[in-house]
Amino acid sequence: MLSSTNDEFYFEGDQYFNPELQIDDSKKKIQVEKLLNPYRVNKSKIEKLISLINHEIQLAFQEKPERSSNFPMINTFVTDFPNGTEVGDYIGIDIGGTNFRVVHLNLSKVGSNYKNKIEMEFFSVPANIRLGNCKQFFGFLASCIKSFVDKQNLKPNNGSSFIPLGFTFSFGFEQHAIDKGEVFQMGIATNVYDVMGKDPVELLQQEMDAIQLPVRVVALMNDATGTLIYGKYLDKNTFAGLILGSGTNIAYVEDVSRYRKISDPFKTFGKYVEKFVVNSEFPLFGDKGEMDSVKNKYDFQLDDASLTPHIYTYEKVTGGAFLGELLRFTLIDLVKNGLVLDGKLTDQLKTPASIQTASISAFEYEFGNNGFNARDNTETRKLLINLGYESNQITADDCSIVTFAGQLITNRSAIFIASAVAVFADHMNLPEVKFACDGSLFKKHPKMERLINSYLSVMCPNRKVVVFSADQGSGIGAAMLAAVVMDSSMK
């Protein structure tokens, strides 16, 4: 990686990467920039961050580390990848928030060509189900799968008694086999109260069997692993899956020989393999203060006010669930300092989660379409009106300052994500490595893909590292892994 000897910024002088505040009041401009300057992270700090992340990865692979790594580096038991010759009907499911996604993947051979057809349906999971017990939750999932199977008129593949299903379970679980896991953490919106220590595969299978659904769970994974599998199908040079939505994570292809937790590959996998997929859970980085030097006061305010303080730190400075809230804390400070909106706080602005990250994406999109002119951005004005301000209270300078704050938050998220990606790319030590990415922030934010890949081009000058979109990858990848598991079991 490149090293710097000064406090320069990446792409110095380019306002796409280093936003400039567009207001005429020079005194106010200086005050705003001073307040928001901590969002700018220079090269030397990023290089230090990269070094710390790399050290954490190395600890996970050392025979006698000085301490345990903060990265769990979970064995996913995924050792095979799509080769493009799989055929049959497969189901993929993805549960991780308020929506449940069910995918039908049909793989076929027509002449000498292999084709795929994908059908998908989303089900909204009611709050009483998301916060209920195992039977309610997994029973609901089973009923949704049945509805989908009936609608698609799906039948088991020839010679089989069941339709194979891949299960993306985007919560914390310890993996014990390709089709076995043990839950250790749920989310905030989805928190099944009696699921801890239980196997989600077994729970779902019981409910599907109870309604005589001819479907069998053959693979369990997290969303990053599913995205990697789909990415591998799209491009053979994909060696990692990146999630960048509400939260973030990376799963990547690792050498069995350097994974010290596996002393006997045959005993672990039931066969001799050289490569397997690791679920890094890297967003735990920073939980012990490793990121304090690049965090600002708004980060600390957000963390202290969160439902999960002091854990998943990296997620809180990069994930879509948090960027809007960072903007809210920032805007409150700007108001209290009399720099925007005539120094008036509304009840809406004081309300947690009153700014969504989608608003940042919206005014960033308009900003780009207006030739990078933030003056009186209508999307920013719309946000401020929704926060309880009258249109005649909102000045062009207010819009410029809020847009500027959102840009800084966006760019910092991108450079932090690129930093983590760069470390994992260097760890894999390949001349070319692609990261398949799924998630609403990557998909819907107009700048995120270009920002991340541009930062990677200078962070990894000696190898080609690219992050590309694998939309709906965690669901499609689940079905794809089911196909891979069935194909490998027949060999």
For residue 226, is it within any domain?
no
pLDDT at 2: 42
Distance, in Å, from the CA atom of 191 to the CA atom of 228, rounded to the nearest integer, reads 26
Same domain, 345 and 271: yes
Cα–Cα dist 443/436, whole Å: 12
Q: Is residue 122 part of a domain?
A: yes
Calculate the dihedral angle through the C-alpha atoms of 251, 252, 254, 259, rounding to the nearest 10 degrees: -20
- Is the same domain home to 238 and 213? no
Phi, psi (degrees; rounded to nearest 5) at 88: 120, -175
Residues 312 and 345 in one domain: yes
Task: Provide the pLDDT for residue 97.
Answer: 78
Residues 373 and 296 in one domain: yes
Of the candidates 280, 143, 270, 285, the one whose C-alpha atom is nearest the C-alpha of residue 215 is: 143
Same domain, 334 and 371: yes
Centroid of chain to Cα 348: 28
Q: For 143-211, give the DSSP string.
A: HHHHHHHHHHT--PPTT-SSEEEEEEE-SEEEEEETTEEEEEE--SS---TT-TTS-HHHHHHHHHHHT
Same domain, yes or no: 358 and 282: yes
CB 149 within 8 A of CB 125: no
Residue 464 in domain = yes
Total-model pTM: 0.94
**Could you tell me if 325 and 345 lie in one domain?**
yes
Strand order in the sheet with 432-438: 74-75, 275-279, 248-255, 238-244, 432-438, 464-469
Q: Tell me, yes or no, whether 271 and 418 share the same domain.
A: yes
pLDDT tens track of the chain, all 491 residues? 444 445 799 999 999 999 999 899 999 999 999 999 999 999 999 999 999 999 999 999 888 889 989 999 999 999 999 998 999 999 999 998 788 999 999 999 888 888 999 999 999 999 999 999 999 999 999 999 999 999 999 999 888 999 999 999 998 899 999 999 999 988 878 889 999 999 999 999 999 999 999 999 999 999 999 999 999 999 999 999 999 999 999 999 999 999 988 989 999 999 999 999 999 999 999 999 999 999 999 999 999 999 889 998 999 999 999 999 999 999 999 999 999 999 999 999 999 999 999 999 999 898 877 766 656 678 999 999 999 999 999 999 999 999 999 999 999 999 999 999 999 999 999 999 999 999 999 999 999 999 999 999 999 999 999 999 999 999 999 999 999 999 987 65
Does residue 320 fall inside a structural domain? Answer: yes
State the distance between the two ends of the chain, measured CA to CA, in whole angstroms.
42
Question: How many independent structural domains does the chain possess?
Answer: 2
3-state secondary structure of 55: helix
Burial status of residue 16 (CB atoms within 10 A of its CB: 0-12, 13-18, 19 or more) = middle
CATH number for the domain including 106? 3.30.420.40
Residue from 145, 142, 131 nearest 97 by CA = 131
pLDDT at position 397 is: 94
Q: Which domain holds residue 147?
A: 79-221
| CA-to-CA separations, 163 to 62, 78, 159, 160, 252, in angstroms, rounded | 42, 20, 11, 8, 28
Does 55 fall in a domain? Answer: yes
Is the Cα dihedral 415, 420, 423, 425 positive or negative? Answer: negative
Residues 276 and 357 both lie in one domain: yes
Q: Between vectors from CA 392 to CA 387 and to CA 394, what angle results, nearest 5°?
A: 55
CATH number at residue 250: 3.40.367.20
Same domain, 34 and 90: no
Q: Are residues 349 and 369 in the same domain?
A: yes
Beta-carbon count within 10 A of 287 CB: 14
Are 61 and 152 within one domain?
no
In a domain, 6, yes or no: no
Q: Among residues 221, 249, 281, which one ends one of the domains? A: 221
Inside any domain, residue 447: yes
Place of tokens 């599998």: 229
Q: How far is CA 392 from CA 27, 147, 309, 337, in A?
A: 23, 51, 38, 20
* Residue 153 belongs to a domain: yes
Q: Name the domain boundary from 196, 221, 246.
A: 221
Give CA–CA dist 17/37, Å, rounded: 14
